[in-house]
Amino acid sequence: MQGGVFKNIGKKKARIEIIPLIDVIFFLLATFVLFTLSLHRLASVPVQLPYSDPIPHPNPPKLLKLQISEGDQVFFDGVPITMKELGYQLTIYKQAHPKDMRVLITTDDRALFGQAVAVLDQIRLLKIDQVSIDTSKSYPTGR
Q: Per-residue confidence of the chain (143 residues) as pLDDT tens digits?
A: 555 555 556 677 888 788 888 999 999 999 999 888 877 676 778 888 887 767 776 766 778 899 888 877 889 988 899 888 988 999 998 888 877 788 998 888 778 888 888 899 999 998 888 888 887 766 666 65
On whether residue 126 sits in a domain, the answer given is yes
Torsion sign across C-alpha atoms 66, 68, 73, 75: negative
Q: What is the pTM of this model?
A: 0.55
On whether residue 83 sits in a domain, the answer given is yes
On whether residue 73 sits in a domain, the answer given is yes
Total number of domains in the chain: 1
Q: Which domain holds residue 126?
A: 63-133
CATH of the domain at 116: 3.30.420.270
Q: Are 74 and 143 spatial neighbours (Cβ–Cβ below 8 Å)? A: no
